């Protein structure tokens, strides 16, 4: 599975008011591992940033004046994300800006180029209702080092978000069977069914180790370990 973790910095909060992207970065995950492939652009928005936005990212108009415009990097960006699943924190914000930039170029909408979009803010709120779920809070909750994050930067934030996403989904997606291996698994299953198999029950020590692993998964996923949840449901039947 190919996933792209993406982040932007902007001149303000609303693209409908003419605000633009000033920084864009994305890092690649393949089968839940960072590959080292990434893109990172500073962009000339041809306008000033709001003071509040400038305090967040520190990218002045002077610094950005000689950087490329979005139109100049759009093709490379779209090739990089093509057919991947996008992972974005507060996705409606970034998607809204990217769609406005693409619309100015007559290039359609972001959703046309990627397979799907995961909003990690929505995911975090479902896992941790009523708690702070911004990137800093999630880094603290999952013991991810964000000490270099003195200002918001798209590349650093994308890298941190990749770690946060893997931590949030640890114990769930990491155990899913990759689609490309399904055929092999099915063939093995058919072969196994034609034989008489000897059943060997787990020892007490093996059962204890198994439950210890499940408890670790549960502690790292806010008691969302699917095997423990199913076990509790079966006990009530």
Would residue 152 show up in a list of annotated catalytic residues for this protein? yes
The string over 135-174, giving b where at least 16 C-beta atoms fall within 10 Å of a residue's C-beta and e elsewhere, is: beebbebeebebeeeeebbbbbbbbbbbbbbbbbbbbeee
CB 40 within 8 A of CB 59: no
Total Cβ atoms within 10 A of residue 178: 10
Q: 19, 152, 181, 210: which is the annotated catalytic residue?
A: 152
CB 114 within 8 A of CB 83: yes
Q: Give Dmax over CA atoms of the chain in angstroms.
A: 75
Catalytic site positions: 152
């Amino acid at each position: 599975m190919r996933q792209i973790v993406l982040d932007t910095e902007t001149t303000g909060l609303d693209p409908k008011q003419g605000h633009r992207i000033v920084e864009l970065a994305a890092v690649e995950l393949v089968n839940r591992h960072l590959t080292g492939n990434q893109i990172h652009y500073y962009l000339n928005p041809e306008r000033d940033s709001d003071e509040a936005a400038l305090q967040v990212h520190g990218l002045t108009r002077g610094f950005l004046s000689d950087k490329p415009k979005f139109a100049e990097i759009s093709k490379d960006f779209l090739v990089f994300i093509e057919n991947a699943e996008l992972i974005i924190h507060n996705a409606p914000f970034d998607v809204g800006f990217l769609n406005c930039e693409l619309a100015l170029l007559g290039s359609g909408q972001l959703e046309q180029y990627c397979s799907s979009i995961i909003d990690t803010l929505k995911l975090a709120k479902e896992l941790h209702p009523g708690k702070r779920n911004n990137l800093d809070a999630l880094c603290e909750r999952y013991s991810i080092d964000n000490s270099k994050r003195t200002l918001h930067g798209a590349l650093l934030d994308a890298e941190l978000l990749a770690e946060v996403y893997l931590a949030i989904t640890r114990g769930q997606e990491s155990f899913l069977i990759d689609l490309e291996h399904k055929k092999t698994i099915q063939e093995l299953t058919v072969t196994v069914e034609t034989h008489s198999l000897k059943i060997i029950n787990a020892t007490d020590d093996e059962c204890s180790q198994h439950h210890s692993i499940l408890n670790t998964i549960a502690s790292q996923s806010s008691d969302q370990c699917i095997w423990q949840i199913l076990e509790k449901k079966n006990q009530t039947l």
